[in-house]
Amino acid sequence: MTTIAQPTPTLPAPQTLAARRIAELGPRARLCGLYDALGAPLYQDLTTYDDYETRAVLAGIRSTRGPVLDLAAGAGRFSLPLLAVGREVTALDLSADMLALLRTELEKVPARMRERCTVVQADMSAFDLGRRFPYVLLGTTSLSLLDADGRAGLYRSVLDHLTDDGKFLLTVMERGDADGPDETVERLTGLGGTVYEFHEHWPAGAAGRTVTLLPADPPADDSPVPVCTDHVAVVDLSRLEAELSAAGLTVVSRQILTQPGERHRVTLLTTEASR
């Protein structure tokens, strides 16, 4: 079963600004994905542990104590804040490169935090940990890495790992500005001080979006320049809710995390096993 929608980097469409930037770099461009050995450090450099999604997820799990399963955990955007507030966390991800970054981050925290984290390399669409959790989490865009069969496997695996009163929290991102431009370009500063260009090509109504990340001011010499580019599928909210219902998961709350009219409309769903 194929679960990862795009296992290798995909070039942006020829007419985009991102494609022009890659052409300008010529042979210096080293294409990579966001989650592989070359791209993962760039992605991690832009990670923030105090964003609206992380705060909403932490607020959403305060009512029940117990361990948390963080799916597609990456380098720890959810896992590290959860550990900081005293939770036991199982961090699961398919990418060995992302988990290597998480382990590096864990070495920087106090031992009492590190000891509460179990790191697991596994496919979120087919895993068996032999235990159940009161909370299972899946962050923005991660769901879009799976095709329809992969999502069905994810829902089955989640149900097998929820306690009787457990909750599955997941976020979905849609276009919130139907009249906005097809392509946007932002300059973002990473934690290490590097300034990046982040290109997103997402025509309204498209089944996917292409994201491209590269240093904004590469050296003037002939040294290689990493260019992370991935095509990410789009799963709209109505389709997602229909899939969850068919799989045996009931949506018990919906929380829009972004402001009206923003390009990215992010919704946090809290679900539980259907009774």
Q: Domain map of the chain by residue range?
A: 17-33+176-233, 45-175+236-273
Whether 182 and 201 have beta carbons less than 8 Å apart is answered as yes
Tokens 């607020």, residue located: 59
Q: Is 6's pLDDT higher than 60? A: no
**Per-residue pLDDT, 8:** 60
Cα 44 to chain centroid distance, Å, stands at 11
Structure tokens at 274: 């259907």
Banded pLDDT at 1 (limits 50, 70, 90): very low
Measured CA to CA, the distance from residue 182 to residue 200 in angstroms comes to 8
Specify the CATH number of the domain 45-175+236-273: 3.40.50.150
Under DSSP, the state recorded for 226 is: E
Tokens 């769903």, residue located: 269
Under DSSP, the state recorded for 28 is: G
pLDDT tens, residue by residue, 194-218:
999 999 999 988 989 999 999 999 9
pTM attached to this predicted model: 0.90
Measured CA to CA, the distance from residue 271 to residue 249 in angstroms comes to 6
CATH classification for the domain delimited by 17-33+176-233, as one of 2.60.40, 3.30.310, 3.30.1040, 1.10.10: 3.30.1040
Tokens 């789009």, residue located: 234
**Per-residue pLDDT, 5:** 39
Tokens 């159940």, residue located: 132
- Which residues have C-beta within 8 Å of that of residue 191, sequence separation ≥ 6? 45, 46, 47, 48
Cα–Cα distances in angstroms (integers) from residue 79 to residues 210, 253, 256, in the given order: 27, 22, 22
3-state SS class at 57: helix
Least confident of 21-25, 41-45, 252-256, 271-275: 41-45
